[in-house]
Amino acid sequence: MIIQLEKDIKTTQIDTISEYLATTGYSVSGVKTQFMDYLVLLGNVKHDIRKIGSLDGVADIHYVNDAYQLVSNMWKTSPTTIDLGDNIKIGANDFSIMAGPCSIEGEEQTIEVADFLVANGIKIMRGGVFKPRTSPYAYRGGGIDSLKMFYKVCQDRGLKIITEVMDASQIDDMLPYTDVFQVGTRNAQNFNLLDALGKCDKAVMLKRGMSGTIEELLQAAEYVFSSGNEKIILCERGIRTFEKAYRNTLDLNAIAILKDKSHLPVIADPSHGIGIRKYVEQMALASIVAGADGIIIETHPIPEKALSDGQQTLNFLEMQQLIKKATALKALNF
């Protein structure tokens, strides 16, 4: 159950509500986000909730019959839009295409990609500077200096950036140079990181764990929300299955289900989802049909020379074709 409290609620009113709730048998957790104060009530309790609804300071009360609460659309029935500023939004009526290299490799590459994105109407650039790599000898990204350069290149061109944070200790340094924090599949249940991101007023995109369930992804989002940050985006990036013909299995089912269960925007990542360049376009378009609010695509001036994930990265011509087809598909308004 979720109680939304009045915007200008006084401490004395909160105390009275808490005292009353203590008599009901619910376990009560207070949540304060950048937008609102909530109380989350858990427990199998028989109680006439109209009594809670009529307490002074209670704006609304909602019954939520899901394991997760604040990210469920059982209480918030309208889709959430994440406002990145400068009229760039993610979710609801704003279909997002985020694109860029797997790794930020240097200034020349960053400028080349950023100029390409601007010329093609893309508003959000992706690129990792802290790279989780299976082998410790692989390219692990240029770190914070690379991020500063990446951010400046994008700011000069009116682009927003999304980049991966691997550890809570990186957040403070990254904060001034990041528009959307990406939590990678390998950190999908790093609860310290999720809690820490919950204390920022920056958008967070949560990738599904490679062996994580849909519910686990939603519970990861619940961590961020309940720690105080409502600006959450969910991302389906493929899961590990028995199939060996491709890197991961992009779970289109998850897109449909997440859209149905949660009010949060859902982005598809077909680059990691299938991991083979020639199929990325098809899976991106399929994700749109499944209901995704956007796609995140790896693109590079010369994918064959990329320092990471070149095998799944589109060149500019392929990316341009995908933008054209995705835009046409969205325009059907199905």
Footprint on this chain of ligand PEP (rule: CB under 6 A): 102, 128, 132, 184-185, 207, 237, 272
Of 38 and 177, the one with the shorter C-beta distance to ligand PEP is 177
- Residue number with the smallest Cβ distance to Mn ion: 102
With CB under 5 to 8 Å by kind, the binding choice for 91 among ligand PEP, Mn ion, none is none
Backbone angles phi, psi at 99, to 5 degrees: -150, 160
Beta strands 89-90; 82-83: pairing state: antiparallel
Nearer to ligand PEP by Cβ, of 5 and 210: the residue is: 210
Q: Which is nearer to Mn ion, 123 or 300 (CB)?
A: 300
Q: What is the dihedral of CA 86, 87, 91, 94, to 10 degrees?
A: -140
Nearer to ligand PEP, 76 or 208 (CB): 208
Q: Which residue has the tokens 């528009």?
A: 179
**Closest separation between CB of residue 19 and Mn ion, Å?**
51
Closest listed residue to residue 266, CA positions, set 290, 230, 234:
234
Q: Is residue 332 packed enough to be buried (19+ CB in 10 Å), middle (13-18) or exposed (0-12)?
A: exposed
Q: Which is nearer to ligand PEP, 31 or 205 (CB)?
A: 205
What are residue 160's DSSP bridge partners? 124
Query: d(Cα 76, Cα 233) in Å, to the nearest integer?
Result: 15
**Interface positions with Mn ion (CB under 5 A):** 102, 309
User: Least distance to ligand PEP from the beta carbon of 109, Å?
Assistant: 15
Min CB(2)–Mn ion separation in Å: 36
Please count the residues of the chain: 334
CA 48/CA 55 separation, integer angstroms: 13
CB atoms within 10 A of CB 298: 28
Return the one option of Mn ion, ligand PEP, none that residue 185 interacts with (CB less than 5 to 8 A, by type).
ligand PEP
* Residue with nearest beta carbon to ligand PEP: 184
Alpha carbon distance 199, 30 (integer Å): 14
The least distance separating ligand PEP from the CB of residue 88, rounded to whole angstroms, comes to 20
- Evaluate whether 78 touches 114 at the Cβ level (below 8 Å): no
Q: How far apart are CA 4 and CA 168, in angstroms?
A: 29
Q: Which is nearer to ligand PEP, 123 or 300 (CB)?
A: 300
Residue 212's binding partner out of Mn ion, ligand PEP, none, with CB under 5 to 8 Å set by partner kind: none
231 binds, among Mn ion, ligand PEP, none (CB under 5 to 8 A by kind): none
Least Å distance between CB 165 and ligand PEP? 11
* Smallest distance from Mn ion to CB 287, Å: 17
